[in-house]
Amino acid sequence: MGKPTGFMEYDREDATALSPKERIGNWKEFHIPLSQEKQRLQGARCMNCGVPFCQSGMEIGGMVSGCPLHNLIPEWNDLVYIGNWEQAYNRLRKTNNFPEFTARVCPALCEAACTCGHWGDAVTCRANELGIIENAYEKGYAAAKPPKVRTGKKVAIVGSGPAGLAAADQLNQRGHLVTVYERDDKPGGLLMYGIPNMKLEKWVIERRIEVMREEGIVFVTGADVGKDIKAADLLRQFDCVLLACGAKQPRDIKVPGRDAAGICFAVDFLGAATKNLSDCGLKDSGAVSAKGKKVVIIGGGDTGNDCVGTVMRQGCAGVMQIEMMPKAPGARGADNPWPQWPKVCRTDYGQEEAAAVFGRDPRVYQTTVKEFIKDKKGKLTGVVTVKAEWTTDGKTGRAVMAEVPGSDQRVDADLVLIAAGFLGAQKYVASAFGVELDAKTNVATSEGTYATKIRNVFAAGDVRRGQSLVVWAIREGREAAREIDKSLMGYSYL
């Protein structure tokens, strides 16, 4: 702890964001990083407290508090303060394979659990994390470091999202020969085609992929395992197979009029928007666009917000985001004390942008869709919404939703994006390998492990735990890599 009184001497300062109206004019990241000198002062604010919940990653009150990767946050904050950026990178990289991703897209569970934040403002951990990794690339600390010894063991990884990439990185550094199969045309999984450019520019992913290639990892794209490539062939050619192909089965909205033209899943819309930007430079490519359209987005989570930000940049005529749950309070309740994750209302970047352009928050709470309206040609023209009332079932204690009679309302809509979450693994992949699915349709593994019931087949990430954060996917990939390494070598120091 280089500055014992730093948290009393310096105020919190975070990266600044461009104004909403300015940033929707392009698809670039819109936060302006802090200077290294300001990052040093923010590092000085870290208390190195006796119980650093920021790195705990433990469940408190049914929610995770702190970083699931157990990042050594007090250590690298102190190293930033004293100016030892290389060692700060070494300590950060010890627990996190891809800080350049998490520093951009993670909701900063670490900051929500920061002891400074209990009485005042949390340390800007995420901003310092970004500063450490970008400085490492600039100075060459993050350059490729191929393993000096190879074991001769071969591992196939199905899926190149954060879980698959983390496992590949760990296993390759151990000396195993790793091949990653990706069904899309570029590696990255949801990082590439699920998260919009303004949150994570694609050169950031391509930069890391290139380093991994230089370190010896082989990427095979356009390879749909279970369709184009047989599972039996992978099991014959490789010593182990890791399924890290995500939870890409979107949850549908089954109401009258669902077959109307103009309704699509958010995951498909976001992927097509990113691909259009990458391949065509926003020229007309036949991809669904919100330009000039009135848009209704069903779902209030991160994916729904990403849809709001995307349609704003495409030039929509209006946007509504339907949220089934009640609006969260503006501050922690008595039943939600620190260091629990704060269950409070947050206004994310897309909602800020819609409010700046259209004069109101696009979110409508305690509302659900009752019907889609279409014209004689089958084209979407509107949505019928209804208010939802939540009560508690006296027998089960579960929350139960009921429609509020007479609350029906017609909303004009040319485009509906369904962002209602995901149901789990795509069945054709599971069937190809013969693995079982659990009650939530995720790939089932033995309790406390990443091993499926099929010999030498493992699973990690969203395909195993369900839709979750990038930071959780990285943790799953790291832990699965250790288990695979142990099965191959009889022990592991990963």
* The model's pTM: 0.95
Omega within 30 of 0 (cis) for the link into 339: yes
Q: What is the pLDDT of residue 281?
A: 64
**Segment 90-107, tens digit of pLDDT:** 999 999 999 999 999 999
CATH 3.40.50.2300 fits 6-139, yes or no: no
Q: What is the pLDDT of residue 231?
A: 97
**Segment 34-50, tens digit of pLDDT:** 999 999 999 999 987 88
> Residue 34 phi/psi, 5° resolution?
-70, 150
Domain ranges of the chain: 6-139, 154-248+423-489, 263-418
Q: What is the pLDDT of residue 394?
A: 80
Q: What is the pLDDT of residue 278?
A: 83
Q: What is the pLDDT of residue 287?
A: 72
Q: What is the pLDDT of residue 131?
A: 97
Q: What is the pLDDT of residue 438?
A: 94
Contact 424, 466 (CB under 8 A): yes
Q: What is the pLDDT of residue 283?
A: 57
Which regions of the chain are under pLDDT 70?
1-2, 280-286
Q: Check if 154-248+423-489 and 263-418 are the same fold.
A: yes
CA distance 471 to 95: 11
Dihedral sign, Cα of residue 272, residue 277, residue 282, residue 283: negative
CATH 3.30.70.20 fits 263-418, yes or no: no
At CA 217, angle to CA 211 and CA 219, rounded to 5?
A: 100
**Segment 297-311, tens digit of pLDDT:** 999 899 999 999 999
Q: 154-248+423-489 belongs to which homologous superfamily?
A: FAD/NAD(P)-binding domain (3.50.50.60)
Tokens representing 35 are 């200077």
CA distance 261 to 263: 6
Q: What is the pLDDT of residue 393?
A: 82
